Amino acid sequence: GIQVEQSPPDLILQEGANSTLRCNFSDSVNNLQWFHQNPWGQLINLFYIPSGTKQNGRLSATTVATERYSLLYISSSQTTDSGVYFCAVNRDDKIIFGKGTRLHILP
């Protein structure tokens, strides 16, 4: 089946820093979503981005479907950005989550 790999697995940054999270997938997909799971377990939609670039405040995402990867950019990090970031892809009626990037922003 399709493989979804996220990198890095863990990231510790100082408040105010920028970061780039990556999601690689092994085959073509119907769509891709980025989620943030906060320390309380809540999953928050960040982007629904099968291709192209989208921006929402300090966050932006780019998916290059032909090269099978997506990037999530976080600028001027805040402590509330801490948590786990997941990408999830859809392919042929299957949903596959990556293992996530655990982000910890230090005050």
Partner 1 sequence: GAVVSQHPSRVICKSGTSVKIECRSLDFQATTMFWYRQFPKQSLMLMATSNEGSKATYEQGVEKDKFLINHASLTLSTLTVTSAHPEDSSFYICSASAARVRGNQPQHFGDGTRLSIL
Closest CA to 46 of 3, 103, 92: 103
Q: Judged by CB under 8 A, which stretch of 11-19, 57-65, 73-81, 93-101 contacts partner 1?
A: 93-101
Report the nearest approach of partner 1 to the CB of residue 10 (Å).
11
SS3 category, 99? coil
* Contact in structure between 84 and 76 (CB atoms under 8 Å): no
Q: Does 25 participate in binding partner 1 (rule CB under 8 A)? A: no
Q: List contacts with partner 1 (CB under 8 A).
A: 29-31, 33, 35, 40-45, 48, 86, 88, 90-91, 93-95, 97-100
